[in-house]
Amino acid sequence: MATIEIRRSHTLSLEELRKKVDQISGSLDAKYAVHGHWQGDEMVLEGSGMTRGVKGRIKLDTATVLVELDLPLLLRPMKGQVEESIARKLDKVLAGG
């Protein structure tokens, strides 16, 4: 089970949504050293360096975006901060930001 789970509805095409998720991935990479790569309509996330052990995915479908992120034990105290940051960025890019 994921430590962080964020689900949002959207009205974008999958192509538009992929571009938006690429923005989120770039932010995760820059801020938390969590890298993403596409496997179909799912972006697989993995941490490196200080965030090694972070694993997750961003799953897309025609109506929703699901972000699941499992934090290693040492990073779990930061769960609230990470979750809030991802939710804020997701809401911003889905709103057109």
For the entire predicted model, the pTM comes to 0.90
Query: What's the average pLDDT block by block, 10 residues per block, for the chain (97 residues)?
Result: 86 93 90 93 93 94 95 90 93 84
| pLDDT for res 97 | 61
CA distance 18 to 59: 10
Q: Which CATH number fits domain 4-94: 3.90.550.10, 3.30.310.200, 3.40.190.10, 2.60.40.1180?
A: 3.30.310.200
CA distance 50 to 75: 9
Tens digit of each residue's pLDDT (9 = 90 or more) over 7-19: 999 999 999 999 9
Give yes or no for a contact between 68 and 56, defined as CB atoms under 8 angstroms apart. Answer: yes
Give the domain ranges of the chain: 4-94
| pLDDT for res 2 | 58
| pLDDT for res 1 | 39
